[in-house]
Amino acid sequence: MTRLVRSPVRTVRSRLFDSAGWAGYRPRADDILVCSYPKCGTTWVQRIVGMLLAGSAEPAPVGNPWPDFRLRGPGGATWAETDAIPGRRILKSHLPYDALPVYVGVKFVHVARDGRDAALSYHNHLRGFRPQILEAIDQVNLADPKFGDVMPPTPEAPAAYFHQWLSDGGGVGDDGASYWQVERSYWAARRDANVLLVHYADLKADLAGEIGRIAIFLGLQAPARVMAQIVVAAEFETMRAQAETLMPGAGRAWVDGPLTIFNEGFNGRWRGLFDEADLAAYQTTVAIELTPGLAAWLEGGRLRAGEPTASAD
């Protein structure tokens, strides 16, 4: 156990995620939390961190404790199982930073992406669920007094989904879980020594450089030969080819199995898919919800917009 720095500032309970799941967390001073709004590169960064911890690029399942996911029950994977993990642990969250506890030594790697890309990828993710997963989600929400109904169906057309996503920032029942709230929370903590901001576009543009940044932040070292192997293993094409090994249980959740997770792997697919009026509404919302510095970083990443820690706003 390690000393508490800050308790969660707020609670978040959406139809899919619940901050109460962290109530049983027994932290270790070297824990690593990989946190993001959904479909921003979470699995990608989990794979990178896992390889850095192992000092190996060998394929291995990317399955880390995920306490806030409601379908896994209280505490996600049981805390007994989490506590039994040997050595340094990786945990996953889709909650904002201020809905999570902060402890001495525990590090947060936040990965972000342009909201339009995240929304399009989320659409594919939700549309690909098997009927039994959708039924399980409905049972959770029917039993929750906050909702008491089933989750609204995901529209078939990406444009229709994006129009729906704009209404609440993809919060799925809680504003605290929205894209805007999640990104603002980590941006506000960007200068904290225990927080590293990573961007999907930067991973695409300079994978080796971003893996090096993550390794330095986590205090991890590996021989140059191993680091080169990790870079190759973290390329989208490699991960897609190894999808069955990396995500062995995905076939139970999605019709297309792990290929739903490793779908397209590039940005800008929303162009020509979303309605122009909704794209204009997105830009209006960006101007309202985000500071100029955060908006620039979310759209272009560190390599285009500059270091987040250097941004005045």
pLDDT, tens only, 92-128? 999 999 999 999 999 999 999 999 999 999 999 898 8
In DSSP terms, which residues pair with 107 in a beta bridge?
A: 32
Q: In the chain, helix, strand, coil percent, each to 5?
A: 50, 10, 40
**CA-based nearest residue to 94, from 78, 72, 116, 120:** 72
Q: How far apart are CA 272 and CA 257, in angstroms?
A: 27
Average pLDDT, the chain: 93
Which of the residues in the chain have pLDDT under 70?
A: 73-77, 256-266
- The 10s digit of each residue's pLDDT in 153-167 is 999 999 999 999 999
Question: So what's the pLDDT on residue 73?
Answer: 63
**CA-based nearest residue to 209, from 124, 199, 116:** 199
Pair 111, 198: CB distance under 8 Å: yes
Question: So what's the pLDDT on residue 257?
Answer: 63
Question: So what's the pLDDT on residue 63?
Answer: 83
CA 271 to chain centre: 23
Domains recognised in the chain with CATH numbers = 4-310 (3.40.50.300)
